[in-house]
Structure 1
Amino acid sequence: MIKNRAGLLALIVLAAASLLMVFFVLPRISQDAKPIGEAINAAGDAVKEAITDPQQTAKAPEAPKTGDQAAASASSSSTKPDAAASSTQPATQAAAATPSFDVLRVEPDGSTVIAGRAQPNSKLEITNGAAVVAKVDVGPSGDFAVVLDNPLPPGDHQLVLKAIGKDGTAVTSEETATVSVPADKSGELLAMVTKPGKASRVMTMPGQNPASPSQPQASQPGAGLPATISPASAPAAAVSDAAGALPGLPAASSNLASSAPNVGAASPVPDNGASADLRVTAVEIEGAKLFIAGVAKPGASLRGEADGKPVGNAKAGQDGSFVIEGLTDLSVGDHRISVESLSAAGQALLRVEVPFNRPAGEQVAAVAGSSVSTSMSGVDGGAFDKLRSETARAFNLLKGLYEGGKTPTAEEVAAARSATGIALKSLAEYQLPADASAAARPITDAAAKDAAAALAALDALPKDAATFGAGLNQIAGMVGKAVGPVIAYQLKSGAEMAAAGTGDTAGAKTIQQAPLTQSERNSVIIRRGDTLWQISRRLYGQGVRYTTIYLANQDQIGNPDIIQPGQIFGVPEEYRPDSEELHRQRLRPKRS
C-alpha cells in the first residue's frame, strides 16, 4: 500500500509540475531565454523527492512558486506576445526549424518526458517506429514539452520528432532518441540521442545522480530513478570518472560534440599522394544493397559505379571517409567497382577502380589490403606505379605485333623487344626512397625479383621473329606477376591496352587498385547514423552487448560513443558473455 500510495503521489506531482511548467514557467522562459530543459528537470526532481519522501508530497507543487517566478508570471501576463517574440534571437528560431531534443527523461516504468525545439507554431508528432505516440502544439517560441500518453513498454524504442507547419510541410528531426526500457527492476535503463556525424548524447544512464550540486543530497535516493542531462548544463564530471575494469574501455560520453573528432579510419592512407586523394577500402553487399566505403579529400563529391553502371553519390566527410550506397544486382563472379571524384560541374577529376569478386550469399563484405599494397603514389610520388604501367604497356605492344596471326618484321620485333627489356630492367632495379615505410618494401622487392626473372626469360627467347612470338605466351605470366594483379588485368590485347594504358577516363586520371579480398571474419561498414548500440542490437539481439564489437576493434575506436562513417569493423560471430557487465562497469562512477 505504501509503495502504491507513493507511486500515485508521484504521478500527481508530475501532472501538477507539468501544469505549473506550462502556465508559469514557460512565460518566464520567453524572457530570460533559459532552455525549457531546466523546467523539465525541475519537474523530474519534484517527482524524485515525492518518491523519496512521500510526506513532503503536498509541498512539492509549491516549489516552483518562488518570489522570482511569481513576479515573472505577473510580468509575463502584462507583456504582449509580439514583444516577447521580437526579443528572441533570429538564429535560435532558424535552428528550431529542424526539431531537436533538449531533454529526454525516462522512468524505469517507461514513463517519458520530452522537451526540445521545433518550428514555431507547428504541430509536433513523436513517432516510435511507425506509430505516433504523442502530439503537441509548438508555441511561438519554438519550445515544446510533452509527456507521453502511455509509458513505453519494455524493450528498445526509436523516437523521432516530426514538425508539421501551417502550410503542411513536414520536417523530421535529424536526431533519433534510442530508449531501452528494462523488463524487470534488475535490468538497465538507457536513453540516448544520436545524430549523423555527431557523438551520441547519453541522456539517461544507470546509477547517475540527478540532484543538482546546489541541492542537499538525500541519504538514499531511489535507485531506479534515472538522471537527466540537458545540453545547456550537462555535467561532464557525471561520467568522466567512469570505472574501467578493462583499461581499454573508456568512460561514456555525456555531451554532444560540436563536430565529430578525427577517429582513425579503417585503412588510413597517407595524405600526400594520389592514392590518398581517392581510395576504396571496402565493399559490402546486404541483399540488393551495395555499399562502397573509402577515403577521399574532405568534402569531395563522389560517384560510385559497378561495372560502369551508377550505384549512387556521396560526399566525403571532414575526415575524408565516405560511404556510397545504392540498389544493384551483382551476380556471383568478377566485377569492377569504381569511384569518381567530381568537379562542381559534375566532371570526373579522379577515378579509382578495383576488381571485386562477388561470392554467393546475401551478406558479403570484401576489404582492401594494406594501404600500400595497391598504389605506391603516396610513398614515392608514383614512380613505382609508373614503372609497372610502362612495363605492361611495352609488353602489350610487343604482343600486339602478333595479333590476328600476323608476323611482324625483324625490325618491329627488335624495337618492341628492346622497349620491354628496358622497362623490365628499370623495374628490377627500382629502389624505394630511404624514408619509405617498412610495409612498402616487401612489395617493391617482390616486384623487382619477378621483373628480373621475366627479363631473363625474355633474353633467353630466340631472335627469329616467328619462334620468338610463340615464346611470348610463356613469359606473359611472369610479366603479369611483376607488374601486380591490377595492372596485369590490362595484359590482354594491344587495342585494349591502348585504351586502358592511358590512365584516363574522359580526361580523369585513373588509379588502379588491387582486388578486394573477402573478409576473413564478418565485417560491417559503418554508415551515417550508425551506433555500436544499434549494430549490436541488430547482430546480437541486445544493444548492451556493443562492448563485444568495441573490444574487437579497439585499434579503430577511440570512444565507443563516436564511430565514423566509412570505418570497417570486424564483428565476432558470438558476443562476449561478460559484455553486459563491461557496459555496467563503463557507466559506473568510481568510488573514492
Structure 2
Amino acid sequence: MTGQRGMWLGLGGLAGVAVLGGAALWWRQPAPPAAPEPAVAALPRPVTGAPPAAEPEAPRFDVARVGAQGAAVVAGRAAPGAEVSLRDQDRELGRARADARGEFVILPTEPLAPGPHALTLRTRDAAGQERQGSEEVVVLVPDAARPGDAPVAVLLPPPGAAAPPRVLQAAPPAGGGRLNLDVVDYDEAGAMRFAGTAPPGGRLRLYVDQHHAGDAAADAAGRWMLSPQPVPEPGRHTLRVDQIGSQGRVLARLELPFQREAAGVAAVGAVGRMVVQPGHNLWRIARETYGRGIRYTVIQQANADQIRDPARIYPGQVFALPSP
C-alpha cells in the first residue's frame, strides 16, 4: 500500500523493516530525480491593484484514535469555517466543518477495514479554494482473528520537515488481552450493559456496589458483554470486574465509579460537574466547556482517578470540570 510519499505499512517480510509496538513500518527511497528541464526565462506579470489572494491554511492532524474494531476519531485544525474531508487515499471517510477557532472532529460512519491505511486531509473554504494537507497518518488496523494486537497510528510530517514521525497511537506490548472495560451504556427504557475485553476465554464476575451483578466469559476475540441483573437504580455506583482463574482465584481486577442518570436528565449537572452520556468524548466535552477541544487534558488531569485512557470514557462517569 502506497501513501503519498512512497511509504508502506505492513507486517514484516521485507528488507528495511522497522518494528513499532508489534506493527512494522517499511519504506522505499525515492527514485533519483529526472534530468532538469531547460531553464525558461520568467515573463513579467502584469501589475494589478489587487494583492495576491492569501493561500488557505493547510489542515493538520491533532488526534487520531482507532479502536480494535476499526472505529476511528480524528481531530485537528484548519482554516476557520473550512469544510474538512478525511480521506483514505482516494476514498472519503467523513467530513466536518472547522469551527470559529479552526478546530474540527470527524467520526467516520464506517469502521476502517483490517489492514494498512494512509489518512490525509483536504479542505475547501468559503471562496471555493481547496488545500491538500501535507501531513499523513499511517494506520494499521489488526485482523479480528488476532485479538492480542491493537491498532497503530503514526503521523508522518510533510516532506522535508525536520520533525520525525510521531506515534499517535501505539500497540500495547506483547502479551496483550488485558482486562478492560470499554462500555457502560443504558437506554431510555432502562436496559443497561457493560462490555470490554479480556484474555480469550477469560471468566469474569461483575459486582455493582459489592452486589453480584452477573458472570460473563470473553469470546475467542477477547470480547465480553453483560447486562446486569438487577439493573442499578439511578444514582452513583461502583462497578467491579474480576477475572477469575480455574480455582476461583482473582487474576485481575478493575473498579470504576459511574453514575446512572434517570431518563431525560441532562448530561451537564451543577457547575463544575458533568455526567458522561453515550456519544461523548473528551475532545467534544472540552470544546463545549472551554471553547477548545485541545484542552481535554484539563479534564483528564482533574479526573485522573477515573480516566486511565483519554480515548476511553464511559457513560455514567461523573467528571469534575475545573475553571478555565
Give the structure-1-normalised TM-score.
Answer: 0.21
Higher strand share: 2
Higher helix share: 1
